Amino acid sequence: MHDETCSKLFSFFVEELKDIYWAEKHLVKTLPKMQKAATNEELQDAFANHCDQTKEHVSRLDQIFEIIGEKAVAQKCEAMEGLTKEGETIIADTENGTSTRDVGLIMAAQKVEHYEIATYGSLVQLASTLELDEVVELLKITLDEEKQADKNLTNLAESKVNHMSLEEMEA
């Protein structure tokens, strides 16, 4: 009988948890900036709602660290920092109050969601291999919320924002 919590795979799993823990905390600070920069009210609401969910993602990770008996430590995630910097560049490069900025914000936000979906998808698999059943269930809840957030953004782009931007004329 092997002890999963002493394996190299377990250590790797913990390192990856620290990485996404940093990323989620970083997003709690970033999403309000994106909300502020957005023009479309539904997009503003989408960012506000997902910010609330993201706070839950952080506390779910706190719970996971506790379950596995590891200290909750945030380790800088360079990928997430890069993705959010890209969002800041989009804000700087587009005009306030335009749908074109909204298009850019949606694109930046979807890149973030896809990063999270990839991460949580892999973490679910790892936790399952490590037979951490309770952790699997918690990670799956977050994974589903990330997928839903991504779908909502696609719907907003398709149904409204992209068309509104198409009608915007160069000044």
Contact positions vs Fe ion (CB under 5 A): 54, 57, 116, 146
Pick 43 or 100: Cβ nearer Fe ion: 43
Kindly state the smallest distance separating residue 28's Cβ from Fe ion, in Å.
9
**Choice between 51 and 164, CB closer to Fe ion:** 51
- CB-wise, 34 or 68, nearer to Fe ion? 34
In the complex, what is the shortest distance from the CB of residue 148 to Fe ion, in angstroms, rounded to a whole number? Answer: 9
What is the SS3 string spanning the chain? CCCHHHCHHHHHHHHHHHHHHHHHHHHHHHHHHHHHHCCCHHHHHHHHHHHHHHHHHHHHHHHHHHHCCCCCCCCCCHHHHHHHHHHHHHHHHCCCCCHHHHHHHHHHHHHHHHHHHHHHHHHHHHHHHCCCHHHHHHHHHHHHHHHHHHHHHHHHHHHHHHHHHHCCCCC
The widest CA-to-CA distance across the chain, in whole angstroms, is 70
C-beta of 25 vs 101, nearer to Fe ion: 25
Q: What amino acid occupies position 93?
A: D
* Closest distance of CB 78 from Fe ion, Å: 17
Q: Which CB sits closer to Fe ion, 102 or 146?
A: 146
Nearest to 160 by CA among 68, 10, 43: 43
Rounded to the nearest whole angstrom, what is the least distance from the CB of residue 97 to Fe ion in the complex? 25
Q: How far is the CB of 164 from Fe ion (least distance, A)?
A: 24
Report the residue closest to Fe ion, judged by CB.
Answer: 57
